Every structure is written in C-alpha cells, then in structure tokens.
Amino acid sequence: MTPSISSPSNNTVTLQQLIEASGRHRQNPKDSQSLAQALTAMMVAASSQLPNLKTSVANIPFEQFLLDSRQLVANDVFVLLKSHTPNCQRSRDYLYQAAQNAAFILSEIDPLALLAKANVPPHANLALTDDNAQAITQQQLDGLPCPVLYVPNIRDFLGELIQARLQYQQAVNLPTVVAVTGTNGKTTISQLVAQLTQLTGMSSAVMGTAGNGRLGALVQASHTTGDSLAVQQFLYQMGIEKAELLALEASSHGLDQQRLQGMPVSVAIYTNLSRDHLDYHADMAEYAAAKAKLFDKAHFPELTHAIVNIDDEHAQIMLDTAHASQLTVWTYSLDPAKSATFVAAEIKPSLQGVEIVLRTDFENKEINSINIVSPLLGRFNVANLLAAIAAAVALGISLERIATVIPQLQGAVGRMQRVPSNDGCFIVDYAHTPDALSQVLASLKTHCKGQLWAVFGCGGDRDAGKRPLMAQAGLAGADKVVLTADNPRTEDPNMILQDMQAGMTSEQYQRAHIEPARQTAIEYAVNQASADDIVVIAGKGHETYQEINHVRYDFDDSVILQNALEQVGRV
C-alpha cells in the first residue's frame, strides 16, 4: 500500500492543508475548530492504523471527495459509507473498485471486517477472532493500491470537510439557510420563504422535492435531501451565484443520515408529523426524533431561530430540543385561542385565495394585528404562509414589508395547482399521506357547491400499512373517490389497490370507482364531474413520471388533466 505521490497541482489539496485552512468561510470560529479537531483526530488514527505507510495520509494530494466509486478518477478521495439497505458484498466491491483510482479511501465501515465478512451487514459489530484469518485480511488490505482509513464517525464532519475542500479552491460567501422539516408543507414553505425574501430584496434559491436552483430556474432532483456531496456542492454553487438565502427541505432520511451536516442553517421550521416513511423509521417516535435533530445546535451550530407549528401533536419534542439549544423559539397556529407568536385570528377562504387577520406577539413588542390577502388556496396553506412569514421576520424583514408582497406569491408546482377549465374546478396536489389528503379535501369542501372528487393511489414498495388509511381519508373527505395507480414501482397495481380497499363498506364502494390505469382514472373523473364539482388529482403533484418496474415513463398529472379537459371541450 504505497501510493504514488506526485507534486500537488493547483487543483489538489492535502488534509493537512485543510486542517490549517478549515473554517475560514464559516462565521462561527467554533465550527473551524471542530473540523480541525476532527481532522487531527483522524490523522492520529491513521498513524496507528497505517503504520507502514511511507507518506502520511495527511500529506497525500487529492482532487475532490466522491461518494460514488463509479465517478472516481485518479487522485480523488472515495468516502465509503454504510448502506441503509445493507449489502456487504456490494460495499466490498465498491472498495475494490475505488482503490484502483483513489488517492486514498475514508471508510465508515471497518475495512478489515468488510474484507473478512462480506456476507454480514456492514453495520454489524464484527469481531475477527481467528488470528490467522485476521492476518490474511490485513494482507489483503495492505495489498490494495491505495490506503484505506477507517473513520467510523465520518458523517459527523463530512459535510464540513467537503465544503472546506470547495472553499480552499475558491472562497465564496455562503447563503443564509432556512431549513424546513415535517411530513407535509416542506416544499410550499421553502418556496414561500424564497419568494418572500426575493420579493423584499434578497437573492434567493430553493432546494427540495420540486427542484433545486434559483427561483424560476429549478432543476429536478432525485431526492428531497441529496447526499452530503450534492448538498454541499449546491450550497457552494449558490454562493458562487451570489444567492443570499437558501430555503431547503430537510427530510427525515436526510437528517437521520446526517446529509445536512455542515449546512449553515440559521432558521429551522417544523410543520407537522403524520404517518409516512415507516418503511424506514421503526415507529412515529423514531420519525419525530429524526425531525428534532434540525433544532439541535449540536448538529447545526449556526441556528438562531426555531419556528414550530404548535397545532401539531408532535410539536413538543421540537420545542424541547430548540429550548435546550437556547434558540429563539417562535410558534404559529391556526387556532385564535392559542398564545402563539403568529396566529391566524381570522380566515376567510375563497377559490381566489384567502383573507387573513394575522396576530403577532414577538420580541417583547405589543401584540399587533395585520390584514393579509393571500392567493394560495386551502386552510393548510394559511399555516404554511404563517411559517414562511415567521422565517422572513427572523431574517430581519419587517412584517409590514412582507404583507405588501404576499399577494404576489405563487404556490409550488403541484401543490393545490388549479388547472384552467371553463366549468368545474380541477386541482393537482402532491398529497400522498392520509393526513395531507384529509387536509386538502377539508380545505376544498367549504368551497364546493356540487360534489368533491378525489383521484389517488398509493406508491409501490413503500409502507403498505398506509394504503387502507389513504383510502379511508379520501372516502371521509370526498363525495366521490377514484382509486388508481400512483408509482407502482415493482408491485402489481391491482395488489396495491386491493390493499387500499381493506375494510371498505358497501356504502363506500358505491361512492368509489376502481381504475388501475391512472390516465383512464383521470379521464373518468373529468367525464363524470359536473359543472359545480371540484376534482382533486392527488399523490404525484409536480412529478413528471410514473415509475413502473424500474422504468420512469413520462406522466404529468397536470398535462394529462389538461388533455382530458380539452378532449371533452371543458377548456
């Protein structure tokens, strides 16, 4: 294991140089100290792990950090992380593949255990008791073309490490970050925060489910919260483009896996928690605990404000975590009887939007009321707007200035998105959990003169226990329900629909129509709905594809709906 050491180029750096330069881009000097300490500890570990290495890992020049072994070129550093769908053989293959090109490898998985026990999940506690086997495995490790350093706590500083490498090449000012977590509302709130700040003079960007980038120029992303490398590269790119504010969605997966480590989050927002992702989290308590990490200054040292929806039953863990971190804690509520920092004292909805009397009580100021006119549909969008307003105030924008630009707001694509029609009301929404679907239907029911229709399904290869709950939420909130496919992935759509129908009564079957083909289901609702009806196509929202057996086919609910309306002359 003797790497070839070439003279550092203008594009290379060493870990020693990062130790010396770390944190110059961060406002908080403690952050630079923590990264330097982590790197120094890593170097100490390297000297004991790799005693025969002629050149210290700290002094090996490299180009960049990468998490995908397929993207490596000579002199990159590969970071091997544990898989959350454990496959030890695959992890060992990644290790061997990366070793052919990497300057060195940082492994979250014990490489000796990985090479010796490839059939055991990489997160297992592996003990090598056979001295001879251990010696052979050590020889295998030493024989690799590059050094492999075991860093079990790499996620604790990986984001900062990646950002430090980017900043070493060209220092830029990073945008202030507002992060939003919760089951529902993340996309809308993050986009509203970006719009409010941009409309009041800040250059803003977003990162999340509906896409990443500057407002009006979003690029679709594969995950709500990308991996550490993607997140830090995007943050850096926004700094290069001189964005002053980045509003991002913090998924529970992203928080649990520390993908946002090193992000300079200043304001954290909590929306709500309802059943979702229980194919990943063991239970709702674990799900809530993952969300609460966003309010912990130990994870996000630059936090100043926590904004929490106190109408949600899981709010207390967020409040407790925020108070323990000594943050400025503001709350919001749709209940006029509650003593929240931002309260919707009056709500007057219409199909054109909503009028709100906003009552505020913050920073020892007298309680004030201000009238707001919002173009956003739905009662739940009032809650989303309150959260966005609170974030904008936390960033130093006056409430009076905010109120003047609210009429210019636009809802996120696929969130209560109205598709034009000559008669009837047709809406596309991303609601894909029982709670979200219930909220959408409840919000629209008050506007509906005729019947309220809901067209939706459930995704395949996900929490099957949610399926009958989704059906019951639709049947409870709508007059007519069309059950159909969502993204079936590798499952049979008919089997998913069968799961959804569990427990349905004969009365509910009379109000339901089962149609596995999503396009046909949408066309059915368009043909059957009367001029006074409201039809909601739920579950996919902004998505422009339908995933079937690992293939993504073009499918945009809003486009399919528009075509169906044109076919029957309703536009």
Q: Annotated binding site: which residue ranges?
A: 67, 69, 182-188, 224-225, 251, 257, 259, 462, 486-489, 539, 543
For residue 276 the two structure tokens come to 């979702």
Q: Residue 456: beta bridge partners?
A: 483
Residue with tokens 């990646």: 162
The b/e string for 283-298 (b: 16+ C-beta within 10 A; e otherwise) is eeeebbbbbbbbbbbe
The dihedral region occupied by 541, where left means phi > 0, alpha psi between -120 and 50, and beta the remainder, is left
213: left (phi over 0), alpha (psi -120 to 50) or beta: left
- CA of residue 374 relative to chain centroid, distance: 26
Instruction: At 555, list the tokens.
Output: 């499918």
Sign of the dihedral through C-alpha 378, 384, 388, 393? positive
Q: Report d(CA 405, CA 183) in Å as an integer.
A: 27
d(CA 393, CA 336): 20
Q: In what order do the strands lie in the sheet with 245-249?
A: 211-214, 204-208, 245-249, 176-181, 265-270, 305-309, 328-333, 342-350, 353-360, 368-374
Decide: 242 and 198 in contact? Cβ < 8 Å.
no
Q: Please give the Cα distance from 479 to 451 (Å, whole number).
A: 6
**Which candidate, 202, 208, 174, places its Cα nearest to that of 189?**
208
Residue 87, burial from CB neighbour count under 10 angstroms (0-12, 13-18, 19+): middle
The residue type found at 383 is: A
E-strand stretches of 412-508: 417-419, 425-429, 452-456, 480-483
Residue 450 · residue 534 · CB < 8 Å: yes
The span from the CA of 243 to the CA of 231, in Å, is 15
Q: Which residues are annotated as a binding site for meso-2,6-diaminopimelate?
A: 462, 486-489, 539, 543
What's the gap between Cα 323 and its chain centre?
A: 24
